[in-house]
Structures are given as structure tokens and as C-alpha cells.
């Protein structure tokens, strides 16, 4: 099954200050700048196996780090920059329209760095529903509990998107209910597009501008998306994290996605929330939607500190004990000043470089 990864990393200078990626974004077709100045994105092409995905991702990232060393820049695997000066959005008409429609809260997104995992479309309805049920797996790689120094959730990034950026447009940024068909999903997208267009018109934005920069396929931030152009089902909830963590997550997620094509997928009814959801050789059982939402909410707030979440993810096929989220390592304070945030960015830039070195060595064995 073809699988690919997109990950955003903060770019810093040798003092730990956020800076532009510059030439790092021009290394290959897989590297590019993001919508805010200090973010860099690395994308892999679709890979048929996890081994191929790992090799492609690691080789490309190693090339980026080599270039970064030559220009005194480093990459940071954190979901937010912990605490920083104001981050500027790059000039962009799409972003301008979103800001006018969504409002000031849209600025929360400027402080977020995440990971998107794409899996090849097959049994799409089952894939959508299973990814919705698995959204709590974001807890496995939570990498920053802080937004502008304040401790807000184990995944501050998920909190910023779901509770702040799209607070006034919850259907554009929250988990969607399970679906009966792909057609139902597309109808929801059309409805969200119409809602956004109407809100834009009320803000005085020309309809032609909205239609030029948005479509039903890309008007929402929902954690699960169908991508027609690629074509894939995309899971967008995880934070940016260490490469080894993301590769492990992609591997285990792909295993579940592969299994659902060879078994039955059912949604449990009236099940005990403490023991719901299973991935076994006999089939895949998904919790009721409200339970899946509660688990995702707990994963966002408490991460792997929640016994309920860890037991659920274990039942759903994840080797929870193999994950050591960055958030659990740096959590514990209610406020982190900018000077300490710079030190944390430098520390985790070093850990990312060491992580990639180990992954490169494993490729050579």
C-alpha cells in the first residue's frame, strides 16, 4: 500500500532563534517553505513499502541537514516553538481570505507544526471511519504542551486548531462523524464550502476570489481529509516529532490500513467505553463516534498520561510502550520564558540530528 509523509519543522539559527528556511526549501521537489516564515516542509513521494518510505524520508532529511549545517541553520521537531516573538505569515491571498473569514483566532495556526500521513485510497469508507476512530493515536507523538509559553495541553498544536483557530467554524476543524459512503463525505465538503463562501461574502470578499483560491477539496482543516489529486486518505492530527517516531507511527498506521482490506470493519453499538475498539485477526471493531471523540480529546489534553488512551491504542494495534513523546519530557511548567524556549529548540534540534544519524546508520547495515 502506497504511503507518504509530510512533516513541518521549525527552522532556527545557531542561537535558537526562529529564522527563514531560505535555500533549505529549494533542495529538491520534496522540500518547500510553509505559510509562515520559519517553517520548512519535507514531503516524500508515495512509497510502496515502509522500508522504502523510511529510506526516502531519511536520505532526503539527511541531505537537508547537511545543507543546514553549511548555512548555520537547524531543524526543530516541536509542535509549537514553545515561546517566541510574533511569527509572520508569508504574503498569500488564500491566507488573507481565511484570516478575514475565520477572524483573529486564525493566527493560532501560525504557531503550529505538524505531520500528515497519506495512505493510498482503497476501501475508502472503511479507511475514513477507521482513521476517525484512530485519531487518539496523535498522543503517541505529542511534542509540545506550550503555546507562547503557556501550558495548554499535551498537544498544544491540536488544541490551537480545534479549540481556537476554528472555534467559530467547528465543522471546518473538528473530527467528522463516521460515514456510510464516500458520497456522503463529498456532500459534507460541498456544504462546508458553501458555508465558507457565504461567510466570505458577508465579509465583503468577492465570490470570484473565493472560487479562485478555494475548492470543496481544500476548504477545511478537518483531521481526516480525502485528497483527490494524490489520491489518498490523509491523517493530519500528529504533531511534528522526531523522524524515528513518525516512521514508527506511519508503519503501525499503515498496518491497520492494510489489514482493513482483508477483514471486516464494524462500529460497536452500546459498548463499554472502557473496553471498546479492537484490531485483531478476526476483524476491526471501532468505538461509537462519541467515544472516539472523547478519546481524541483526552489524547490531546493528557496524551499517554491517560490510561484510558494507552489501553485503547494498545487494543487498536499500536505498540504504545515504544513511544516516548517529547511532550512528556518537556512538560511540567505552567510557563516557559523565551530564553528557555530557545534552549529547548536547540536541545531538540540536536536530538533530531542524532536521530537522523542513527537512522542513516541503520540504512547502511
Mean pLDDT of the chain: 95
Which pLDDT score, from 0 to 100, does residue 304 have? 98
Give pLDDT tens digits for 277-330: 999 988 999 999 999 999 999 999 999 999 999 999 999 999 999 999 999 999
Measured CA to CA, the distance from residue 250 to residue 4 in angstroms comes to 8
DSSP 96-143: HHHHHHH-GGGGGGGG--BEEEEEE-SSHHHHHHHHHHTGGGGGGG--
The pLDDT confidence band at residue 270, using thresholds 50, 70 and 90, is confident
Instruction: To the nearest 10°, report the CA torsion of 120, 55, 132, 123.
Output: 20
State the burial class of residue 24 (Cβ atoms within 10 Å of its Cβ: 0-12, 13-18, 19+): buried
What are the start-end ranges of the E strands in 14-71? Answer: 31-33, 39-43
DSSP letter (8 states) at residue 144: B
Give pLDDT tens digits for 52-76: 999 999 999 999 999 999 999 999 9
CATH number of the domain encompassing residue 17:
3.30.590.20
Residue 151 pairs in a beta bridge with 146
Alpha-carbon torsion (256, 182, 95, 107), positive or negative: negative
Give which of 268, 265, 280, 246 is closest to 137, Cα–Cα: 246
Query: In Å, what is the CA distance from 268 to each residue of 171, 275, 291?
Result: 24, 11, 10
How many folded domains does the chain comprise?
1
pTM of the complete model: 0.96
Kindly state the cell numbers that stand for 123. Answer: 476501501
Measured CA to CA, the distance from residue 125 to residue 81 in angstroms comes to 36
pLDDT at 365 over 70: no
Contact 100, 200 (CB under 8 A): yes
When pLDDT is averaged across residues 38-54 and rounded to a whole number, the result is 96
Instruction: To the nearest 10°, report the CA torsion of 81, 82, 86, 90.
Output: 20
Give which of 31, 67, 77 is closest to 241, Cα–Cα: 77
Give pLDDT tens digits for 19-37: 999 999 999 999 999 989 9
Measured CA to CA, the distance from residue 56 to residue 250 in angstroms comes to 13
Question: What is the domain range of residue 274?
Answer: 3-364
Give pLDDT tens digits for 344-362: 999 999 999 999 999 999 9
Amino acid at each position: 500500500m502506497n504511503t507518504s509523509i509530510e512533516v513541518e519543522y521549525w527552522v532556527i539559527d545557531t542561537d535558537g532563534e526562529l529564522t527563514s528556511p531560505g535555500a533549505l526549501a529549494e533542495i529538491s521537489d520534496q522540500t518547500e517553505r510553509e505559510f509562515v516564515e520559519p517553517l520548512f516542509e519535507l514531503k516524500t513521494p508515495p512509497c510502496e513499502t515502509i522500508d522504502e518510505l523510511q529510506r526516502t524520508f531519511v536520505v532526503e532529511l539527511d541531505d537537508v541537514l547537511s545543507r543546514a549545517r553549511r548555512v548555520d541553520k537547524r531543524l526543530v521537531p516541536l509542535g509549537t516553538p514553545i515561546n517566541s516573538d510574533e511569527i509572520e505569515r508569508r504574503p498569500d491571498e488564500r491566507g488573507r481570505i481565511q484570516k478575514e473569514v475565520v477572524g483573529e483566532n486564525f493566527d493560532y495556526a501560525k504557531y503550529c507544526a505538524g505531520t500528515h500521513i497519506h495512505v493510498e485510497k482503497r476501501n475508502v469508507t472503511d479507511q475514513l471511519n477507521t482513521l476517525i476512530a484512530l485519531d487518539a493515536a496523535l498522543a503517541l507523538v505529542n511534542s509540545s504542551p506550550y503555546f507562547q509559553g503557556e501550558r495548554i495541553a499535551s498537544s498544544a498544536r491540536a488544541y490551537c486548531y480545534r479549540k481556537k483557530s476554528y472555534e467559530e467554524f467547528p465543522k471546518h476543524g473538528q473530527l467528522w462523524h463516521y460515514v456510510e459512503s464516500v458520497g456522503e463525505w463529498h456532500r459534507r465538503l460541498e456544504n462546508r464550502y458553501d458555508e465558507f463562501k457565504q461567510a466570505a461574502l458577508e465579509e465583503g470578499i468577492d465570490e470570484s476570489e473565493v472560487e479562485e483560491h478555494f475548492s470543496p477539496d481544500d476548504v477545511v482543516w478537518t483531521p481526516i481529509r480525502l485528497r483527490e489529486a494524490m489520491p489518498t486518505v490523509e491523517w493530519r492530527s500528529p504533531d511534528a516529532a522526531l523522524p524515528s517516531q513518525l516512521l514508527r507511527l506511519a508503519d503501525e498506521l499503515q498496518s491497520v490500513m492494510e489489514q482493513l482490506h482483508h477483514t471486516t470493519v464494524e462500529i460497536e453499538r452500546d459498548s463499554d467505553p472502557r473496553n471498546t475498539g479492537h484490531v485483531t485477526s478476526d476483524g476491526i471493531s471501532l468505538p461509537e463516534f462519541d467515544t472516539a471523540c472523547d478519546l481524541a480529546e483526552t489524547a490531546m489534553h493528557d496524551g499517554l498520561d491517560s490510561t484510558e488512551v494507552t489501553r485503547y491504542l494498545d487494543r487498536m494495534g499500536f505498540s504504545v510502550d515504544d513511544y516516548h513523546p517529547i511532550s512528556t519530557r518537556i512538560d511540567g511548567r505552567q510557563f516557559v520564558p523565551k530564553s528557555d524556549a530557545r534552549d529547548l529548540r536547540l536541545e531538540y534540534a540536536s536530538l533530531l540530528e542524532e536521530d537522523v544519524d542513527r537512522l542513516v546508520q541503520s540504512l547502511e547495515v
